[in-house]
Amino acid sequence: MSPSILIAGATGNTGRAVAQTLPKLIHSTGTLSGHRIIALTRSSSSPAAQDLAKIPGIEVVEKNWVDITADWLRENQVVRAFIASHNEPNQFAEESTFYFNALDAGIEYVVRISTTAPNVRPDCPAYYARQHWAIETLLGSPEFDNLKWTSLQPNIFSPLVMSPAAEFIKKYRKTGEQDTLRLILSEDAPIGIIDPDEIGVIAAHLLSQDDISKHNRAKYVLNGPEDINGKQVVDMIEKHIGAPVKDVSYKDVSFIDMLYDYQYAASKQSKNVIYSIKRAPETAWEGKCSASTTSQEILDLAAPKRSPVDTLKSLLEN
């Protein structure tokens, strides 16, 4: 059995693009051309998993990444790995267990997905950002010196930002009626929203590097190619519908209420903890998440190109 590269969550937001991009990249390298690529999924029968299984060089394996042990990593000769963890309250426990097992199994390199860079700090109001800080602090400790890693700190995903605009346009075209337009963006603060597929492409480029030493312990900031603010989203909508938007709610995080009711209430998660997510966009509203903050290394590897206009067009076509 040849060495392998593991993609945990291969059918997820960012993992899918990693799996689609990596085979071509490693085929052209000297040191990794013979490596297998294991695409992990919780359901190998899902349409997304079936599509990945058609890609030459991809092995789709049905397994939840939180159940991975050091023995499993050794048995599958995993030498590099990608992981995009969930952001639920038990994230630190499960993701740190993965890294402990990776260290124990002698894995060479891990690329992980973090969150918006200005939020990765111990005093961020949003709980999940503090978990990412804790994970990066753990990986940066001397005890984990033998595990090389890169943490990608992406801005908010563009489909999350632009979906309310697409739904508003679709409803107006169908009924001629308008509801309140609820946007997570502020009216005027610029923010470099990013497409999750482009994050996956960047992760694939990192995983395929012959020399990973220059990326070891790096925390790279990822944004889309251009800034947008709430007023610009409204302008885009008005061009599509040919009418003024009557009612806009900027800085709207009311979707967190629905998230709690539908995803967390039944499991009796702390409402106080989950509702702290409402404060996550504050750094964006303060203008700290513009496209200008993108790390130069990201621009050199695979500069993101998908604009907010591209995202809206795609959402309207689906």
pTM listed for this prediction: 0.96
Q: Going from the N-terminus, what domains does the chain have, and what CATH number goes with each?
A: 4-155+195-222 (3.40.50.720), 158-192+226-289+307-317 (3.90.25)
Residue 111 region by backbone torsions, left for phi larger than 0, else alpha for psi between -120 and 50, else beta: beta
Q: What is the pLDDT of residue 33?
A: 85
First to last CA, the chain: 41
For each of the chain's 318 residues, which pLDDT tens digit applies? 799 999 999 999 999 999 999 999 998 777 888 899 999 999 999 999 999 999 999 999 999 999 999 999 999 999 999 999 999 999 999 999 999 999 999 999 999 999 999 999 999 999 999 999 999 999 999 999 999 999 999 999 999 999 999 999 999 999 999 999 999 999 999 999 999 999 999 999 999 999 999 999 999 999 999 999 999 999 999 999 999 999 999 999 999 999 899 888 888 899 999 999 999 999 999 999 999 999 999 999 999 999 999 999 999 998
Beta-bridge partners for 157:
194
Instruction: Give 19-34 as a 3 state SS string.
Output: HHHHHHHHHCCCCCCC
Distance, C-alpha 219 to centroid of its chain: 14
Q: What is the pLDDT of residue 265?
A: 86
Q: What is the pLDDT of residue 60?
A: 96
Kindly report each contact of residues 291-294 with a partner whose C-beta sits within 8 Å and lies 24 or more positions away, as own/partner.
291/190, 291/192, 291/223, 291/224, 291/225, 291/226, 291/227, 292/192, 293/117, 293/192, 293/221, 293/223, 294/192, 294/221, 294/222, 294/223
For residue 71, give the nearest of 102, 110, 96 by alpha carbon.
102
For residue 267, give the nearest of 89, 41, 139, 111 by alpha carbon.
89
CA distance 201 to 23: 11
* Mean pLDDT, all residues of the chain: 96
The tokens for 173 are 């075209």
